[in-house]
């Protein structure tokens, strides 16, 4: 399970330190919408479904069982999500340690029942089928 946490944190952190940033408001908006839909699934405690709807990169990095155990361990103690406000979204074409592609890092200021101030980072990737899917998730 420790490996899963490390992998997921690395996937997300690499987005924050990415190199090739560009503006693409349409893609940022679409990725943000997909991120919010995915977060709603996580908020509902449907961790197995959140894994199924994640990007191939994500599913290759962590098994469904590892993901469910990891997200349950770090999300459940936080309690219910209170408020989530988007901080911003950044379109990128490269991320360290990941194949070149299209990515959007979406950050949210989020409050939880047991943590009043946090930042959620969701790294989205544009999949071959044209859908934006989560390839990284991190809360700090």
Token pair 């950050």 is found at 107
pTM for the full predicted model = 0.84
8 pLDDT more than 60:
no
CA dihedral (54, 91, 27, 94) positive or negative? negative
Residues whose CB falls within 8 Å of the CB of residue 45, separated by 6 or more in sequence, listed in order? 76
6 pLDDT more than 60:
no
The enclosing domain of 57 has a CATH number of: 3.10.450.100
Residues whose CB falls within 8 Å of the CB of residue 52, separated by 6 or more in sequence, listed in order? 64
Q: Which two tokens stand for residue 5?
A: 């946490």
What local confidence, expressed as pLDDT, does residue 21 receive? Answer: 55
pLDDT tens, position by position, 87-105:
999 999 998 888 999 999 9
Which DSSP string corresponds to 86-133?
A: EEEEEEES--TTS-SS-EEEEEEEEEETTEEEEEEEEEEEE-TTS-EE
The number of distinct structural domains making up the chain is 1
pLDDT tens, position by position, 14-65:
444 444 456 789 999 999 999 999 999 999 999 999 999 999 999 999 999 9
What local confidence, expressed as pLDDT, does residue 13 receive? Answer: 43
Check residue 80 and report its DSSP letter.
Answer: S
Q: Which domain holds residue 76?
A: 2-139
Token pair 């330190």 is found at 17
């Amino acid at each position: 399970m420790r490996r899963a946490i490390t992998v997921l944190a690395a996937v997300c952190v690499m987005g924050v330190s990415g190199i090739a940033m560009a503006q693409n408001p349409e893609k940022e908006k679409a990725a943000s919408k997909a991120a919010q839909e995915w977060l709603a699934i996580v908020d509902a405690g449907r961790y197995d479904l959140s894994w199924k709807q994640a990007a191939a990169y994500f599913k290759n990095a962590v098994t469904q069982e590892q993901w469910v155990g990891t997200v349950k361990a770090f999300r459940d103690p936080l309690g219910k999500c209170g408020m989530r406000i988007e901080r911003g979204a950044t379109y990128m074409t490269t991320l360290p340690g990941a194949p070149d592609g299209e990515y959007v890092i979406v950050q949210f200021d989020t409050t939880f029942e047991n943590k009043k101030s946090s930042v959620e980072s969701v790294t989205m990737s544009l999949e071959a089928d044209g859908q934006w899917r989560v390839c990284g998730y991190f809360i700090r």
